[in-house]
């Protein structure tokens, strides 16, 4: 659940922030006309995104990286055009759009459409990639993930409404305009860094011999890596811009500045201020919530699992004895043996539910290596790939199951032969 | 105003319909080369490493699900002249290929095993893995087919040239300067 909560927010936060500010900006400039034409762009972005998601999911016709690069080129063109036009067209509010205004509206709508088209398919396809361990759509696995995904979308929708309210009602008309311009420019920088080198590598389609190497791209390659490894900085910048707008809106509504003639009018003005302050505070709270989700919740969800400490056992010649009473509680138990070559071999034991047998295997699998397994609630989970093991099949060969380890039960002990343990040495080198 | 609406609609429709137009032009997937070394001769094999978006694999209970992973990594390999009678220029089966990915400071970031599998472009060893954008090196440890129960004829009449059998210590190959930037 948490994974999809923070992933969807991370994927869409910037897009939602910019498209919301764009809607407010064009609405302030050109009234209903601006909003309506921008809404056309928004919906076409959504329709195109859904179309791409459907084609991607049902055919092999979509090469994601190609699409991203084309969308990048499209976005760059419209962002630059929008930015330039906004320098000349974006000052007088509430007028009918002339030729320049029409171009500004089209470019703004095109930027929003492109941003939505860019991110939406990924988010829409999440529910088709949920790992339900073969339990289907109506399993708890699926519903839990769907819950995180849906909650993120709901929160983003609520945030969008609040931010829109701030951007529309703020009296400082320069604030939403400048904040939007800054946000759009930052997005262009991100796209440039993120996709510049791969885009250039597409030049081979034109017959050029271009290969992405440090030597050939120098600082551009470094810039690409910087934007890739610091992608969160751009999200923090978007959060800062949204919070800044909300803060400015809050500050301009702390006291009544409009003239009034009598106490009733003052009360009305104060009530209006109170309402706007609440809107600003709600926006700030939403931004804070997203920041916490992308820091605290994400850190918690992606934290490294520490394997439980190995337990003790008795060595009897070439046999290792583990009392059954020590492993009969249904929990995961881990053991270690260090070989003459100084290789530490780990193995696990878990008593199978409703059975007298044990799930026994090396603390490694053929897919994920010796990452190990840990206990999450009543589940045994692979530390590397997060696959939940069916406890009843632990001890069987294949897949992400622990590599089987032979054992016997006798005289109240699980008995392991040293020879069998040493056979697994290569897995832990 | 109708002109404005028509203009917006025209641009946007062009944009959304391009999905279908572009889809007709291309199919398959895009592989990205990994590391600055390109192809390497490792033992009797030529190896190259590529990566792309995480993929679904079957049977699902034996594969790393693409959920929570960032990329699919592959080693494409073919046999050169060899004493084990593997066909030249063909894929080599029964290998166990472990990998360790390290950051630029040499610290291990992740590790695991490549599984034998086939895609539309043929058989290879690969896996879905979780990895953040960044610069890395990857080292492969290629264990001999003998570890997976692959036998060799060693008699004088039908035996292979390499009668001493397979290698006993894993072959190693490293690709460096891998700038991983997720592009999907």
Burial of A342 (0-12, 13-18, 19+ CB in 10 A): exposed
- What b-and-e string marks burial along A384-423, b requiring 16 or more CB atoms within 10 Å of the CB? bbbbebbbeebbeeebbbbbbbebeeeeebbebbeeebbe
Residue A127: list chain B partners with CB under 8 A: none
B84/chain A closest Cα distance in angstroms: 23
Q: What is the pLDDT of residues B100-159, one digit of tens each?
A: 999 999 998 888 888 899 998 889 999 999 898 888 999 999 999 998 889 999 999 999
Chain A residues with beta carbon closer than 8 angstroms to that of B3: 102
Cα distance from B27 to chain A (closest Cα, Å)?
4
A418 CB-near residues (< 8 Å, 6+ apart):
A318, A319, A320, A337
Three-class HEC string of A283-301:
HHHHHHHHHHHHHHHHHHH
Chain B interface includes A228 (CB < 8 A): yes
From first to last of its 429 residues, what are the pLDDT tens digits of chain A?
888 999 999 999 999 999 999 999 999 988 888 899 999 999 999 999 999 999 888 887 777 777 887 888 888 889 999 999 988 876 777 777 788 888 899 999 999 999 999 999 999 988 887 766 666 677 777 888 899 999 999 999 999 999 999 999 998 888 888 999 999 999 988 888 877 666 665 555 555 544 444 455 667 777 888 888 888 999 999 999 999 999 999 999 888 888 888 888 888 888 888 999 999 999 999 999 999 999 999 999 888 888 889 999 998 888 999 999 999 888 999 999 998 888 899 999 999 887 778 899 999 887 778 888 998 877 888 887 777 777 887 888 766 788 989 999 888 899 999 999 998 888 887
A139 touches chain B (CB under 8 A): no
First to last CA, chain A: 35
Tell whether B84 is covered by a domain: yes
DSSP codes, A114-139? HHHHHHHHHHHHGGGT---TT--TTS
Q: What is the pTM of this model?
A: 0.80
- Domains contained in chain B, number: 1
| Inter-chain CB pairs, A–B, below 8 Å | 167
Q: Is residue B78 part of a domain?
A: yes
Cβ atoms A250, A280 nearer than 8 A: yes
ipTM of this predicted complex? Answer: 0.70
User: Closest partner residue to B62 among A45, A64, A398, by Cβ?
Assistant: A398
Residues 312-371 of A with CB under 8 A from B: 366-369, 371
Task: Tell if the CB–CB gap between B12 and A51 is shorter than 8 Å.
Answer: no
Q: Is residue B116 a contact partner of residue B162, using CB atoms and an 8 Å limit?
A: no
Residues of chain A numbered 45-104 and touching chain B (CB < 8 Å): 45, 47-48, 51-52, 55, 59-70, 74, 97, 102
CA A243 to chain B, closest CA, distance in angstroms equals 28
Q: Which of A63, A81, A116 to substitute to test the interface with B, most B CBs within 10 Å?
A: A63
B2 in a structural domain: no
Pick from B60, B113, B183: which is nearest to A68 by CB? Answer: B183
B22 occurs within a structural domain: no
Q: What is the CATH number of the domain that holds B61?
A: 2.60.40.2480
Residue B6 belongs to some domain of the structure: no
Any A CB within 8 A of B69 CB: yes
Nearest to A359 by CA among A316, A391, A407: A391
Length of chain B in terms of residues written: 184
Torsion of CA A386, A391, A397, A401, to 10 degrees: 10
Put simply, the answer to whether B23 touches A198 (Cβ < 8 Å) is: no
Contacts of A195 in chain B (CB under 8 A): 183
Q: Which domain holds residue B161?
A: 30-180
Nearest to B113 among A48, A70, A369 (CB): A369
B18 within a domain of the structure (yes/no): no
Whether A387 contacts chain B with CB within 8 A? yes
Domains of chain A: 2-301 (no CATH), 314-428 (2.102.10)
In a domain, B4, yes or no: no
The answer as to whether B11 is a domain residue is: no
């Amino acid at each position: 659940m948490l994974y999809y909560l923070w992933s969807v927010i991370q994927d869409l936060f910037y897009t939602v922030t910019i498209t919301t500010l764009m809607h407010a900006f064009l609405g302030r400039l050109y009234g209903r006309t601006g909003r309506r034409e921008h809404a056309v762009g928004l919906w076409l972005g959504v329709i195109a995104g859904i179309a791409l998601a459907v084609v991607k999911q049902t055919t092999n016709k979509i090469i994601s990286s190609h699409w991203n690069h084309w969308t990048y080129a499209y976005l760059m063109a419209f962002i630059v055009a929008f930015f330039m036009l906004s320098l000349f067209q974006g000052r007088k509010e509430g007028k009918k759009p002339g030729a320049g205004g029409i171009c500004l509206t089209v470019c703004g709508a095109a930027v929003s459409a492109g941003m939505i088209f860019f991110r939406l398919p990924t988010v829409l396809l999440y529910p088709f990639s949920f790992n339900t361990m073969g339990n289907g759509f109506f399993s708890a696995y699926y519903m839990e993930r769907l819950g995180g995904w849906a909650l993120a979308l709901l929160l983003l929708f609520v945030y969008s409404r609040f931010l829109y309210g701030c951007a529309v009602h703020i009296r400082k008309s320069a604030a939403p305009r400048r904040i939007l311009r800054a946000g759009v420019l930052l997005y262009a920088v991100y796209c440039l860094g993120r996709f510049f080198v791969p885009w250039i590598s597409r030049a081979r389609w034109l017959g050029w011999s271009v290969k992405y190497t440090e030597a050939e791209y120098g600082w551009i390659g470094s810039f690409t890596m910087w934007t890739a490894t610091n992608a969160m900085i751009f999200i923090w910048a978007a959060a800062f811009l949204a919070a800044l707008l909300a803060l400015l809106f809050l500050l301009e509504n702390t006291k009544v500045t409009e003239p009034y003639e009598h106490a009733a009018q003052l009360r009305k003005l104060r009530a209006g201020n109170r309402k706007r302050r609440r809107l600003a505070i709600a926006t700030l709270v939403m931004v804070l919530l997203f920041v916490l989700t992308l820091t605290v919740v994400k850190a918690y969800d992606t934290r490294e699992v520490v394997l439980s400490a190995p337990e003790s056992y008795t060595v009897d010649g070439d046999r290792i004895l583990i009392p059954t009473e020590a492993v009969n509680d249904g929990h995961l138990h881990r053991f270690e043996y260090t070989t003459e070559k100084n290789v530490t071999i780990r193995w696990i034991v878990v008593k199978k539910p409703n059975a007298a047998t044990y799930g026994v295997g090396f603390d490694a699998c053929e897919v994920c290596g010796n990452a190990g397994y840990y206990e999450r609630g009543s589940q045994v989970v692979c530390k590397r790939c997060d696959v939940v093991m069916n406890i009843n099949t632990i001890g069987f060969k294949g897949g992400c199951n622990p590599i089987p380890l032979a054992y016997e039960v006798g005289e109240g002990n699980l008995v392991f032969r040293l020879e069998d343990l040493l056979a697994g040495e290569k897995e832990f080198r | 105003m109708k002109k404005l609406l028509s203009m917006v609609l025209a641009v946007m429709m062009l944009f959304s319909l391009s999905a279908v137009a572009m889809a007709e032009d291309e199919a398959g997937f895009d592989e990205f080369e990994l590391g600055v070394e390109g192809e390497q001769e490792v033992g009797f094999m030529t190896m190259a490493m590529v990566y792309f978006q995480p993929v679904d694999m079957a049977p699902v209970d034996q594969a790393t699900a693409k959920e929570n992973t960032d990329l699919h990594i592959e080693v494409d390999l073919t046999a050169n002249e060899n004493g084990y009678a593997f066909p030249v220029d063909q894929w080599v089966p029964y290998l166990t290929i472990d990998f360790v990915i390290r950051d630029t400071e040499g610290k291990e970031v992740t590790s695991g095993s490549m599984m034998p599998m086939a895609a539309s472009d043929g058989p290879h060893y690969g896996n879905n893995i979780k990895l953040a954008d960044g610069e890395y090196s990857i080292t492969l440890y290629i264990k001999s087919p003998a570890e997976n129960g692959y036998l060799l004829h060693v008699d004088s009449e039908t035996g292979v040239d390499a009668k001493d059998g397979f290698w006993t210590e894993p072959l190693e190959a490293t690709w460096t300067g891998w700038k991983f930037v997720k592009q999907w």
